């Protein structure tokens, strides 16, 4: 599921910014990577790095209601609610010249605009098990990162701080595939007693 989300975000960027991430012959295409944001792991430059750093259940969208669907054979199925998972990425831009901040900032600005144009991921970009999702995949850009300190994060990565944006996508996940088959009540009888 997480790999499908990676591919979905990459597809979104290719559609929104084809001159940067597509097969444009006029500009050098930018690679999209999902590795740890460090020069030793990002080998193809220029590259936009989306580092999945936090995965947690979205408690605000939590539901305890099971869904019931009528079947054509006179029964019904009862399914448990989906769990909604927040997947948070740190997005950074890497160029071959580590001092080329102007290019990094320009491309990050274009990425921010592209992501902000899509507060839900369009069905046309969904990949793998996300295709046909009943629930919209909500996305938020530029919210506060779920890290305690970006400075400590970059220190742990062994590098200098870079311009970073936070991007979170909420995906649905089935946790219990046990579907219950139930008989439908098709008629009922009422009896009335007289006290005469």
- Look at 10-19, 36-45, 123-132, 160-169 and tell me which has the smallest mean pLDDT: 36-45
CA atoms within 13 A on the CB side of 63: 15
Does domain 2-62+77-177 fall under CATH 3.20.20.70? My reply is no
pLDDT above 70: residue 135: yes
Q: Which distant-in-sequence residues (6+ apart) come within 8 Å of 175 by Cβ?
A: 80, 82, 83
Residue range 45-66: mean pLDDT, rounded: 83
CA atoms within 13 A on the CB side of 187: 1
**String of DSSP letters for 74-132:** SEEEEEPPPEEEEEEEEEEEE-SSTT-HHHHHHHHHHHHHHHHT-SB--GGG--GGGTT
pLDDT above 90: residue 123: yes
pLDDT band at 126 (very low <50, low <70, confident <90, very high): very high
Tell me the pLDDT of the chain averaged across its residues: 82
Domain assignments of the chain as residue spans, ordered by start: 2-62+77-177
Alpha carbons 79 and 168: distance in angstroms, whole number: 27
Ramachandran area for residue 154 (φ above 0: left; ψ -120 to 50: alpha; else beta):
alpha
Alpha carbons 187 and 22: distance in angstroms, whole number: 60
pLDDT above 70: residue 162: yes
The pLDDT, as a whole number, for residue 151 is: 74
Residue range 155-177: mean pLDDT, rounded: 82
Residue 67, token pair as written in the block: 């869904």
Prediction pTM value: 0.77
Contact 38, 92 (CB under 8 A): no
């Amino acid at each position: 599921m997480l790999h499908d989300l990676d591919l979905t975000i990459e597809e979104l960027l290719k559609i929104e910014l084809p001159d940067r991430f597509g097969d444009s012959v006029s500009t050098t295409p930018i690679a999209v990577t999902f590795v740890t944001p460090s020069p030793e792991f990002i080998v193809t430059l220029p590259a936009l790095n989306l580092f999945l750093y936090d995965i947690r259940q979205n408690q605000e969208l939590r539901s305890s209601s099971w869904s019931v669907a009528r079947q054509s054979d006179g029964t019904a199925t009862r399914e448990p609610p989906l769990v909604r998972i927040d997947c948070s990425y740190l997005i950074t831009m890497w160029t071959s010249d580590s001092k080329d901040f102007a290019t990094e900032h320009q491309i990050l600005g274009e990425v921010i605009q592209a992501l902000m144009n899509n507060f839900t991921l369009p069905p046309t970009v969904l990949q793998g098990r996300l295709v046909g999702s009943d629930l919209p995949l909500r996305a938020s850009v530029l919210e506060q990162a779920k890290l305690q300190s970006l400075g400590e994060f970059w220190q742990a990565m062994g590098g200098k701080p870079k311009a970073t944006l936070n991007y979170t996508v909420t995906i649905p996940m089935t946790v219990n595939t046990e579907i219950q088959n139930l008989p439908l009540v098709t008629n009922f009888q009422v009896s009335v007693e007289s006290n005469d």
